[in-house]
Chain A
Amino acid sequence: MKRAVVALTGLLICAVSHAAAAADSALPDWSGWWTNAPPVTEEWLRQLPPLSDRARASWENRFVVNGDLDPMRYCRPLSFTGYSGGFEGALEFLFTPGRVTMTSEDGRIRRIYTDGRAIPANQDASANGTSVGHWEGQALIVVTTHLDPENAYPNSNQGTLQIGRGARITERITLRDAETLVFDIETIAPAVLSGPDRRTRIYKRMQKSMAQELSFCARNDRSVDADGRQRFDMTPPADLPPPPRKP
């Protein structure tokens, strides 16, 4: 009897493993790095978000009053407000059983649970929020909630507006062709938007590209001080070659 139970358990484990492997093998090929095209600015030019009057006034006023927009943004934790790569970062996907992990070259990590779990009602807010997803054929549907209300909107590493409470972002991600990944994004953010903002973002696969870390930290920036004030540091690098002989 004991042997039979062990054998049956083994068979069950094998069956589950095979099922998981089969499910994984059915997943689309999203390997490599993906960069957005066209630039997000172009996208926004074509389709501005339905900002509430208050948000629009705040944004415009901030731009007029403070030319530096938000001096404290440097080295702030990266956060998600609808653009997984920020405004210019490339993306990468990692598939593991029951989860998709999305990273960007600037170090953002989004953990998307695809094992059927629900988001706990008492989940804490966080910079990248909490994401659950499911596959509809070859399309990944992702719902993200519990975003930190102080997340900068629309750009995650630049201070403009704050996304506020109650934000919910739904993404449908699918291949248009082997080299083109399409994000259909719906953003509901009652604090800044008068209605849902729906837009499509296109990413292109970067052929043979290796990841290169991208850091926005002010520590290395000749253009700002560590406290965020602007400068333009013209101290030559220590290893600057000497000038050519006098002409």
Chain B
Amino acid sequence: MTKFLSRCVLFACLVTTAVAHHSYAMFDGERVMTITGTLAKIEWKNPHVFLWVYVPNAQTAGGFDLYAFENGSTNVLARRGWSKDVIPEGERVTVEFWPLRDGRKGGHLKQLTRSGGITMQGAGGPRGLDGTDPARQLKERAP
């Protein structure tokens, strides 16, 4: 058991360090939230691409909330089909994300679905490369 836990901790370290340029402690990896809005901008830069999305909210003066989503680095995302202009500004998108723990409107992008239904995977985040729980992965693979 001790050995198993030790392996879990080690792997959690690795998953974190493998893709993070900082820790992901600011994001709640236990929850995935979903919003739908219009893409305001893809901020295409290293070490993290940011996406900005206007989400309708009738309770606010402007009628919208502005959400910010961290994503992986340009190189990693490019290898997953992303680019600075892959999604036109103003397109309707649905974003699944691990929310910020402090309650602000944003988080780390897990997956984005475009208006035509095309799904694009994010990179990085508190759950590792593929968004799954590394400890559970390890357990499933344990002999």
A66: min CB distance to chain B, Å: 9
Say which one of A19-27, A168-176, A178-186, A236-244 lies at the interface with B: A236-244
Assuming A230-B22, A232-B106, is B47 touching A217 (CB within 8 A)? yes
- Verify if A45 is at the interface (C-beta below 8 Å from B): yes
Number of interface residues of B (CB under 8 A): 57
- What total of A-B pairs shows CB separation below 8 Å? 145
- Verify if A223 is at the interface (C-beta below 8 Å from B): yes
Interface of chain A residues 40 through 97 with chain B (CB within 8 A): 40-41, 44-45, 48, 56, 59-60, 63-64, 67-69, 74, 87-90
- Verify if A155 is at the interface (C-beta below 8 Å from B): yes
B15 surroundings in chain A (CB, below 8 A)? 41
B135: min CB distance to chain A, Å: 11
Taking a contact as CB atoms under 8 Å apart, the answer to whether B138 and A45 are in contact is yes
Output the nearest chain A residue to B62 by Cβ-Cβ distance: A243
Number of interface residues of A (CB under 8 A): 49
Taking a contact as CB atoms under 8 Å apart, the answer to whether B26 and A40 are in contact is no
How many angstroms between the C-alpha atoms of A234 and B73 in the bound complex? 18
- A residues touching B (Cβ–Cβ < 8 Å)? 35, 39-41, 44-45, 48, 56, 59-60, 63-64, 67-69, 74, 87-90, 105, 155, 158, 160, 206, 212-218, 220-224, 230, 232, 234, 236-237, 239-241, 243-244, 246-247
- B residues touching A (Cβ–Cβ < 8 Å)? 6-7, 9-23, 25-26, 38, 40-41, 43, 45-48, 50, 52, 54, 56, 58, 62-64, 66, 68, 70, 73-76, 78-79, 89-90, 100, 102, 104-106, 128-129, 134, 137-138, 141
